[in-house]
Amino acid sequence: MPGNAIKAKCKVCGAKATVKKYTSNGSRSNAYFYEKYIHRNGVVHYYRAGNKVQNSSTSEKFEQMIKSNMFSRNYRFKEIKSLFETGFGSVVNNSMISRNLERAIRSNLLEKIVERNITFYRKANPSKVTKEVKISETSLNWHLSGSKASINLFLYLKNDIDRPLTSIPIALPSGASDSIDDLNLIAYDQYGSIDKSRINSSYTYPGQILISVSFKKVLKPAEKNFVFLKGDLDLNDDSFKFSLPINIDSFKMSFIDNKTREIHVTKRLLDGIKESNPEVVKRGTLAGGESYTEVEFDKLLRGETIVVSW
């Protein structure tokens, strides 16, 4: 709900503006606090003031159930569902259990075992747990001009696994083309320009392309690096989507659109059906008349899908 409007210095651009304070509920039971700055020329800026964790989320309760209530034996799906409902205090649907099971497997809390065509789940053995590669921060910026789009992608990562890394997978919408050559990709890392021969297509299917970018130098355990990727594509439809090939701690997308379309971004969950909204959405108008949209997601999982429409 908006608070009382007051005059204050804009925390985005520094100019004086009318500010209103808001709270909004995001995913995972977080309450987000942000400020809306309205300038005399009509430009609106949003500033995220912080967030406060409220009640434990369903995923947190599911994780606690695994750690506290599950023994070192095999469990069927229906057993886990019953165990969770007992602790949760209400009936839950199968898709919610499936989604949290998938999350627990990716987090190395559970192991999935198939014996004689029967699927079981078991608490992971801590001695066998191996960390997955993940990206700490990603920023994907779009400049839209009609059906043409230019993209700038920044990603930052630290090698938290116990072996060297030579490359990183990146998923992008391919637009009207499914050929990596049509995207005019240019890449850099902290050691300089990456040769085009080190940017390769892993697979393509309609609307999406997965590429592999090889670092200029091998990334040893505990070392950090970044990748900058620039490209162009044609967007003939009024929507596109791409699935994530790797876990991402923090993901930001921004759009500058000369057609001033209202752009919507959602995250499709691992069940392939349910969608959730970004934790933060900022909208405004730039001095040149273009519309500006920025969204933020936290803790994206490999296999989840980003959906963009206007």
CA distance 182 to 171: 15
How many whole angstroms separate alpha carbon 91 and alpha carbon 175? 42
User: pLDDT-based confidence at 56, cuts 50/70/90?
Assistant: low
- Domain spans of the chain, in order of start: 6-53, 58-128, 134-309
Find tokens 């790797």 and name the residue: 246
pLDDT level of residue 182 (50, 70, 90 thresholds) = confident
| CATH 1.10.10.10 is right for the domain spanning 58-128 | yes
Asked if 35 and 49 count as a contact pair (C-beta separation under 8 A), the reply is yes
Mean pLDDT of the chain: 83
Closest by CA position to 249, among listed 166, 163, 133: 133
Q: How confident is the model at residue 71 (pLDDT cuts 50, 70, 90)?
A: confident
Residue 277: partners with Cβ closer than 8 Å, 6 or more residues away: 26, 27, 266, 267
Domain 134-309: assigned CATH number? 2.60.40.1730
User: Residue 173, Cα to own-chain centre: how many angstroms?
Assistant: 15
Q: Residue 13's pLDDT is what?
A: 85
Beta partners for 295?
253, 281
Per-residue pLDDT of 221-249, as tens digits, reads 889 999 999 999 888 788 888 888 888 99
Rounded Cα gap, residues 112 and 120, in angstroms: 6
pLDDT tens string 142-161: 999 888 899 999 999 988 88
Separation of alpha carbons 88 and 103, rounded Å: 18
**What pLDDT, on the 0 to 100 scale, is given for residue 50?**
58
Give the global pTM.
0.60
Q: pLDDT tens, 92-104?
A: 888 889 888 988 8
pLDDT tens sequence across 185-224: 999 999 999 999 999 987 776 778 889 999 999 999 889 9
Dihedral over alpha carbons 286, 291, 297, 301 (to 10 degrees): -130
- Buried b vs exposed e over 182-201: b needs ≥16 C-beta within 10 Å? bbebebbbeeeebeeeebee
Cα(140)–Cα(101) distance, rounded to whole angstroms?
Answer: 29
Looking at residue 59, what is its pLDDT?
79
Predicted confidence at residue 22, as pLDDT, reads 66
Measuring CA to CA, which residue among 75, 210, 231, 225 is closest to residue 160?
A: 225
- Residues of the chain with pLDDT > 90: what percent? 31
Cα dist. 295→37, 71, 94, 253 in Å? 17, 40, 30, 5
pLDDT band at 53; cut points 50, 70, 90: very low
Query: Alpha-carbon distance 217 to 34, whole Å?
Result: 41
> pLDDT confidence of 283, banded at 50, 70, 90?
very high
What number is the average pLDDT over the span 134-141? Answer: 90
* pLDDT given at position 54: 44
